[in-house]
């Protein structure tokens, strides 16, 4: 079992992330024992699969299960949860235990920040994406007014319990989704890149070694520790995401993580135009993305999806697209491309890939 401590620069408190077998069954009950009232927040899919096991581990405590899926990451779900917490008469001294994927973590973390101006929360991430990415760093949110993550707060859980036992029931698509974010971390850290390339065939077979999960958590925790409120370094975690978000909107059938892998391929190709890039490394990164993707899927014509990249939050000028591009091992750079150039390069890359 690895214990990763997340200590933010300007914060007195710290939070621990337990990663490994036993995190859920052994560490969680001990951590929440002192709270007089506990409340579980989960989704219906996780509850149907894991409810009995959760009851064995935590005992008979109140539960609220939201319908599963991003489309329910809404104010209705947030307020339904807050109502259930009020009905259970939770106090300042109570704690909320979020058990599920990134959606449950994001909505539950926000509810815990709002209820009585803040109660303790603990997170048990049950998807690979939630373990290596969303449960680390205290960002919480709901989608609002048609905009993803528009309303939220920073609220670090007291502790996170990342246990591989949950992967027993995780569909392959969700595993690949998490691998996409692991590769993104690899494009930001030379050390992780070595580890991921050395294990690429395991990853391509969707078998994810626990030590690699812990390494990814430790990497994200180190980025968050230096820049909890995303004023600089934490923005690097958007690598590949400008193109990924455009592809996600256009493709619909591909998961977020698969689009991150595709986005990283496009943006690594675009980075080859930078004078100080390492082409050999960029080719290795592209090969890794292709291997874990299991090939390039059919893509709509670039002219259809590239304009969606203009919607990205990182863009600072009206007709320019900003990408966080990989450059050399462990090095990235924000590059602003006039939209015409971005679209033209994307089209050339797409013709070469497909
Ligand atoms: N807070 C952050 O820093 C951060 C970072 C990245 C992503 N996110 C957010 O995370 C969300 C995506 O997270 P996600 O990919 O975990 O999605 P998710 O929570 O929707 O989970 C994906 C699906 O897997 C199911 N599931 C969960 N655990 C399972 C298990 N063990 N076995 C079988 N099925 C299981 C869920 O019910 C759901 O249907 C997005 O809303 C995104 O905005 C947040
Ligand atoms: Zn992502």
Determine which residue's CA is closest to atom 18 belonging to ligand 1: 101
Residue 274: its pLDDT value, please? 94
Mean pLDDT (whole number) for 300-329: 91
Q: Global pTM?
A: 0.96
Provide the percentage of residues in the chain whose pLDDT is more than 90: 90
Q: What is the DSSP letter of 224?
A: H
Q: Do residue 195 and residue 285 come from a single domain?
A: yes
Q: Do residue 164 and residue 178 come from a single domain?
A: no
Which ligand is in closest contact with the Cα of 170? 1
295 conformational bin, left if phi > 0, alpha if psi -120 to 50, beta if neither: left
**Ligand 1 lined by 236 (C-beta under 6 Å):** no
Give CA–CA dist 256/347, Å, rounded: 21
Where in the sequence numbering do the catalytic residues fall?
117, 139, 181, 220, 230, 234, 238, 241, 245, 256
pLDDT tens readout for residues 258-274: 999 999 999 999 999 99
Lowest-pLDDT choice from 33-47, 273-287, 316-330: 316-330
Separation of CA 299 and ligand 2 centre (Å)? 19
**CATH assignment at residue 304:** 1.20.1090.10
Q: Do residue 153 and residue 301 come from a single domain?
A: no
Which ligand is in closest contact with the Cα of 153? 1
Q: Do residue 88 and residue 194 come from a single domain?
A: no
Q: Do residue 9 and residue 83 come from a single domain?
A: yes
pLDDT tens readout for residues 117-146: 999 999 999 999 999 999 999 999 999 998
Lowest-pLDDT choice from 163-167, 263-267, 292-296: 292-296
Separation of CA 181 and ligand 2 centre (Å)? 6
Nearest-atom number in ligand 1 for the CA of 45 is 37
Determine which residue's CA is closest to atom 12 belonging to ligand 1: 102
Give CA–CA dist 73/331, Å, rounded: 34
**Ligand 1 lined by 17 (C-beta under 6 Å):** no
pLDDT tens readout for residues 60-91: 999 999 999 999 999 999 999 999 999 999 99
Q: Do residue 118 and residue 199 come from a single domain?
A: no
> Cβ–Cβ contacts within 10 Å for residue 29, how many?
12
Query: Kindly report the CA angle at 122 between 21 and 214, in degrees rounded to 5?
Result: 40
For residue 326, report the phi and psi dihedrals to the nearest 5 degrees: -70, 145
**Ligand 1 lined by 48 (C-beta under 6 Å):** no
**CATH assignment at residue 21:** 3.40.50.1970
Strand partners, 160: 17, 123
Band (197; pLDDT cuts 50, 70, 90): very high
Determine which residue's CA is closest to atom 9 belonging to ligand 1: 102
Q: Do residue 189 and residue 265 come from a single domain?
A: yes
**Ligand 1 lined by 133 (C-beta under 6 Å):** yes
Q: Do residue 12 and residue 103 come from a single domain?
A: yes
**Ligand 1 lined by 70 (C-beta under 6 Å):** yes
Give the residue, out of 129, 139, 169, with the most ligand 1 atoms within 8 A of its beta carbon, to mutate for a pocket test: 129
Q: Does residue 11 have a pLDDT over 80?
A: no
Q: What is the DSSP letter of 23?
A: I
Q: Do residue 318 and residue 191 come from a single domain?
A: yes
**What is the overall mean pLDDT for the chain?**
95
90 touches 64 (CB < 8 A): no
Q: Do residue 189 and residue 78 come from a single domain?
A: no
Band (341; pLDDT cuts 50, 70, 90): very high
Nearest-atom number in ligand 1 for the CA of 137 is 3
Q: Is residue 212 part of a domain?
A: no
């Amino acid at each position: 079992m690895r214990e990763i401590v997340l200590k933010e620069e300007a914060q007195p408190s710290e939070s621990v992330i337990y990663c490994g077998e036993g995190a859920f069954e052994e560490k969680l009950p001990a951590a929440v024992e002192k709270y007089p009232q506990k409340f579980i927040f989960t989704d219906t899919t996780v509850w149907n699969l894991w409810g009995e096991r959760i009851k064995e581990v935590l005992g008979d405590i109140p539960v609220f299960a939201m319908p599963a899926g991003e489309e329910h990451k809404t104010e209705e779900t947030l307020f339904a949860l807050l109502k259930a917490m009020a009905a259970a008469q939770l106090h300042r001294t109570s704690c909320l235990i979020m058990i599920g994927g990134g959606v449950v973590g994001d909505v539950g973390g926000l509810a815990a920040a709002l209820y009585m101006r803040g109660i303790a929360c603990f997170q048990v991430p049950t998807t690979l994406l939630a373990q290596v990415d969303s449960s680390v760093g205290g960002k919480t949110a709901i989608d609002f007014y048609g905009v993803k993550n528009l309303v939220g707060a920073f609220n670090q859980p007291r502790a996170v319990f990342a246990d591989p036992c949950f992967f027993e029931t995780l569909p392959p698509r969700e595993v690949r989704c998490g691998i996409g974010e692991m590769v993104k971390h690899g494009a930001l850290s030379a050390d992780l890149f070595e580890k991921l390339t050395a294990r690429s065939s395991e990853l391509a077979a969707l078998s994810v070694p626990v030590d690699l999960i812990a390494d990814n958590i430790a990497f994200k925790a180190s980025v968050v520790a230096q820049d909890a409120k995303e004023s600089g370094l934490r923005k690097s975690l958007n690598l590949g995401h400008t193109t990924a978000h455009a592809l996600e909107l256009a493709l619909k059938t591909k998961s977020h993580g698969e689009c991150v892998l595709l986005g990283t391929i496009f943006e690594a190709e675009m980075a080859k135009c930078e004078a100080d890039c390492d082409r050999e490394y960029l080719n290795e990164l592209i090969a890794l993305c292709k291997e874990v993707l299991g090939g390039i899927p059919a893509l709509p014509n670039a002219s259809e999806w590239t304009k969606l990249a203009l919607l990205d939050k990182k863009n600072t000028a009206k007709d320019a697209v900003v990408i966080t591009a990989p450059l050399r091992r462990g090095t990235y750079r924000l590059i602003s491309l006039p939209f015409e150039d971005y679209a033209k390069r994307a089209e050339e890359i797409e013709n070469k890939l497909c």
